[in-house]
Amino acid sequence: MFFQIKEIILWPRDAAREPRRVPFIMGKVNVISGVSRTGKSAVIPIIDYCLAAGSCSIPVKTIRDSCEWFGVVIATSSGDKLLARREPGTQRSTDEMFLMEDVEISEIPMRITKNTTADSVRRKLDELAGLSNLDFAAGEQESGFDARPSFRDLAAFTFQPQNIIANPDVLFFKTNTYEHREKLRKIFPYILGAVSAAGLALQHELRRLQSNLRRLEKELREAEDVSARWFAELGAKVSEARELGLLVLPQGADLTREQMIERLDEIVKRTDLTLAVTVATISDAIQELNELAAEETTVSHELTTLRRRLTEMNRIQTSASNYHGALQVQRDRLQISDWLMRHNVGGENCPVCGGNMDSADEKLRELHNSLKSLEETSGINVEIPAAFDRELQRVQAEVNDVSERLKSVQVRKSALSNRSQEARQNQFQTQRAERFVGNLENALELHRRLGESSELKTEVGNLRAREQQLLTELREHDIDAGKRRALRVVNSNAGRLLPALDAERPDDPLSLEINDLTVKVTGANREDYLSEIGSGSNWLSYHIAVLLGLHQYFLTLSHSPVPSFLVIDQPSQVYFPKRMTIQEGETPEEPQLRDQDIEAVRKAYQVFGKVVAAANGKLQVIVLDHAPRDIWEGIDGVVALEEWRDGRTLVPTEWLA
């Protein structure tokens, strides 16, 4: 996919200042060189963040404190696009983004505001890459690495930060985390083109179909097991129906399976089951037993009603008793008014002041009259009617009588049952017949579902046929063969580049192991993984060879979703390691160069230039390095962009003031 970086842009927090623009040249090896702490290692996080990364990895303090927005202009086959994202502040990221599209973007706005979201930008980038909408879980519950391929997953092929470029354990960007590692392993065949969108759709349908087929086959096996046992006893069912009087057949009648099922089905549909069982063998004892059973039911119902009524009356009596007790307490409290009236003869004076008490007498009479009225209306003198007690006694007597009647019926019924073996047998037969018919109904329903024309069998057969068809179509796609072919090309590309790099075993065949996401080198006596091979120069060489070999392969595909750029940070660090600590206010020193180190770094740049030149403008490489200009100057395809030395940095020094 044609997708290259035209420039990165930084908008300052000071609105009076113009944005900082760092342009790049498409189809070339762009080199930004400089000393430490000038912002080189922030270029990859800025591009990644503007391409809708999940979190912001841009270094804090100087860069994030002085910038309000970060942006990147990308060139695509459908025109230029400016993607900008707000500095997240104290958050891990922000969803606020700005998007501008045009055939060519040369002028950028001085100030920008949010007009889209990170989710919308991710969807747009997915569409731009032409990624499939199908996931790898086939509609089942998916984990993070079973989700559909995303443009964000492709960052593994476009960025090599300084902690990755010479790492013996990690070959691809962000695969040091489990989720990104597993997701990349899952999508790698799709990225290589071994699985086309059509093949992925077939895989998706096959997995969903096989999941449904396994479920239905399990149901069918369970149902057939039950059905097989039932058919083995089908003759016994017919014999049992004859014994119960439910089925009349001539002796020696030989019925087919279909005829037996038909006769048993008639039994299930009959409504005169009880009569069929009892009418031929009815006797006086059986008739009397049935009458006693009916009488027992009636008497039991009557006794239940009387007991409920007795319980309610006892509850009323208890409540009335409690109520009268409370009323008596109230009446005792009202007696004070009578006592005061009996001792008031009139004409008394106040024993304290000697004053006249006529007005108080009047108030006392009003109080006495009010209390008497309250006593009359409160029902203190009202008693429970005597009729209630008579009714209570009558109900109790009826409960005793009905209880005796019930006992009598039960005694007669028990005696009759004990005397009549026929009656007991009939009761048992009736209950047995009812259970038999219930079980028979379920068995017949199961058979109808599992017959020769069963819908479940038909559905399973159709799914099996479709499964074979999909397997045939997938064999035609031959995903494993396609993956092997793709890896052979990638390994061949990397193998041709390796002798031009500073590797100890340039002639030993190498292979990209996508299951382990590492490189394996085959020697004369053994195979070694990248982590088993020593020296930072080897690790650097294999990283460069494999990443460039992959991009060479991607360019040969009719359509590849991988962006056609690669950003590499500090490839020369294994030869010119920077000082681990720099004192406050100290100017970083230039690395001390040796001839053999210079030659090794120059080899890497020559390989960059050779691969990019052969791509004819379809591939862009951006290198951020300590190495000064004189190391790589003059190499075909390599162009110098900016030198971040002598006070020149990614963030202008005046912004910091």
* CA neighbor of 33 nearest in space, from 562, 610, 625, 473: 625
Band (376; pLDDT cuts 50, 70, 90): low
Between 369-383, 389-403, 532-546, 575-589, the lowest mean confidence (pLDDT) is in: 575-589
Give the pLDDT score at 423: 53
Please check the confidence at residue 515 and state whether its pLDDT lies above 50: yes
Angle (CA) 510 515 519, round 5°: 25
Tell me what pLDDT residue 355 has. Answer: 67
pLDDT at 517: 94
Distance in angstroms between the alpha carbons of the first and the last residue of the chain? 42
Please write the tens of the pLDDT for every residue from 90-139. 888 899 999 999 999 999 999 999 999 999 999 999 999 988 776 555 44
For residue 168, pLDDT beyond 90: yes
Most confident range (mean pLDDT) of 88-92, 236-240, 247-251 is 88-92
If you average pLDDT over residues 147-172, what whole number do you get?
92
Q: Which residue has the higher pLDDT, 320 or 505?
A: 505
179 contacts 144 by C-beta, under 8 angstroms: yes
Please state, in angstroms and rounded to a whole number, the distance separating the CA atoms of residues 112 and 109: 6
CB 6 within 8 A of CB 23: yes
Cα distances from 573 to residues 58, 65, 139, 413, in angstroms, run 21, 28, 46, 105
Look at residue 163 in the predicted model and tell me its pLDDT.
93
Q: What is the pTM of this model?
A: 0.62
- Worst-scoring range by mean pLDDT, 45-59, 326-340, 374-388? 374-388
Q: Give yes or no for residue 491 having a pLDDT over 90.
A: yes
pLDDT (average), residues 8-25:
94
3-state secondary structure of 400: helix
Amino acid at 333: R
Is 511 within 8 Å of 487 (Cβ atoms)?
yes
Sheet holding 638-644, edge to edge: 159-160, 565-569, 620-625, 29-34, 638-644
For the chain, domains (ranges, CATH) are 3-132+144-192+478-650 (3.40.50.300), 195-273+428-474 (no CATH), 284-419 (1.10.287)
Residues 247 and 241: their CA atoms lie apart, in Å, by: 5
Classify each residue of 101-125 as buried b or exposed e, where b means 16 or more C-beta atoms within 10 Å of its C-beta.
eeeebeebeeebeeebebeebbebb
Cα separation, 150 vs 154, whole angstroms: 7
* H helical segments located in 530-582: 536-556
How do residues 269-308 score in pLDDT, each as one tens digit? 765 554 444 444 445 666 777 777 888 888 888 888 888 8
349 or 508: which leads in pLDDT: 508
pLDDT category of residue 261 using cuts at 50, 70 and 90: confident
Which SS3 state, helix, strand or coil, does residue 117 take? strand
Helix axes 421-450, 455-477, angle to 10 degrees: 30
Tell me the CB-side half-sphere exposure of residue 164, using CA atoms within 13 A: 24
What pLDDT score was predicted for residue 281?
Answer: 40
Structure tokens at 617: 């403008």
Return the pLDDT at 8: 97
Which amino acid makes up residue 240?
E
Q: Pick from 212-226, 329-343, 586-600 the range whose average pLDDT is largest.
A: 212-226
pLDDT surpasses 60 at 145: no
Position 276 scores a pLDDT of: 45
- Candidates 532, 527, 500; CA nearest to 511 is 527
Instruction: Estimate the share of the chain in helix, then strand, then coil, as percent rounded to the nearest 5.
Output: 55, 10, 30
Cα dihedral 365/370/372/378 (nearest 10): -170
pLDDT, averaged across the chain: 81
Nearest to 287 by CA among 475, 152, 88, 422: 422
pLDDT of residue 350 exceeding 50, the answer is yes
> Which residues are within 8 A (CB) of 572 and not within 5 positions of it... i.e. 6 or more apart?
591, 597, 601, 604, 625, 626, 627, 631
What are the C-alpha distances in Å from 579 to residues 36, 250, 586? Answer: 9, 108, 12
Query: Tell me, what amino acid is at 117?
Result: T
